[in-house]
Amino acid sequence: MIEKVSAAVKFLKEKGFDSPEVGIILGTGLGALADEIQIEHEFVYSNIPHFPIATVEFHKGRLLYGVLEGKKVVAMQGRFHYYEGHNMGQVVFPVRVMQHLGIKKLIVSNAGGCMNLDWKKGELMLIEDHINLQPENPLRGREASAFGQIFTDMSNPYDEEMNKKLLSIAAESGIKLNKGVYVSVEGPSLETKAEYRFLRMIGADVVGMSTVPEVIAANQMNLPVSAISVLTDECDPDNLSPVNIEDIISTAKAAEKNLVLLISHLIRDM
């Protein structure tokens, strides 16, 4: 794996991906931030050595390099999921590549189902902690040790400094930014009423199918990370309606302006 990461990094550096400061992962329906980046170089994933290929139809599948708020950034417009058939090494491959390119901070976004009945869809949640229910860990196996200690401490996986700044930016901008726990499940099927009750009972506020593997990989490499969920549907087991994926995408897009503001101002203030 380290040889594949090195090959991808070499390719990207030769193509002008020069010392990015911040890495960004844009989740489902959350591609508008790309419009704010002064893009200097971009590649579809299939053109980058050893990159997996995004199979989800609403994920763009492009790696972008440019300037945002005066900082050099590299952004994934579309991510990889375990449910697509990738192994965890492939899911976190781009995070390892971005870290080897030189990023010092990682910002992650996702679309998630809201199980906290005090919140509403269209709002945002700052991830303070997570529960990992994915069936595989990205640090499993001998190859993972090339990127750091596999027995990585996860007592504080989300960077407190970045999280405090995001909360401050939200307060100053009048944006409701909830704080809570994200649970990552395998997918791709959505949850039953009983599963929502179980996930809420074990302490989760929002459920999704991503983010946690990338956060684990970032922590292994001592890469500070912050993550925000867009709450795209309300998962009340006592009042549950069939989920429409198009509605989820639409809700995510409607909330993008607030997400873009938060991330842009966070990068500006770094």
* Alpha-carbon span 246 to 240, nearest angstrom: 17
Tell me the CATH number at 65: 3.40.50.1580
What is residue 61's predicted lDDT score, i.e. its pLDDT?
86
Give the C-alpha separation, 112 to 208, whole Å: 5
Count of residues in the chain: 270
The pLDDT of residue 237 is 93
CA atoms within 13 A on the CB side of 84: 18
> Would you state the pLDDT for residue 12?
96
Q: What are the beta bridge partners of residue 75? A: 24, 64
Farthest CA pair distance, the chain: 55
Predicted local distance difference test score (pLDDT) of residue 255: 86
222 backbone φψ class: left, alpha, beta (φ>0; ψ -120 to 50): left
Domain total in the chain: 1
- Give me the amino acid identity at 130: H
pLDDT of residue 33: 87
Domain of residue 164 covers 2-269
Decide the pairing of beta strands 206-208 and 105-114: antiparallel
User: Tens of pLDDT along the chain (270 residues)?
Assistant: 899 999 999 999 999 999 999 999 998 666 788 889 999 999 999 999 999 877 664 556 899 999 999 999 999 998 899 999 999 999 999 999 999 999 999 999 999 999 999 999 999 999 999 999 999 999 999 899 999 999 999 999 999 999 999 999 999 999 999 999 999 999 999 999 999 999 999 999 999 999 999 999 999 999 999 999 999 989 999 998 887 778 888 888 888 889 999 999 999 998
Listed in sequence order, the residues at least 6 apart from 14 whose beta carbon sits closer than 8 Å to its beta carbon are none
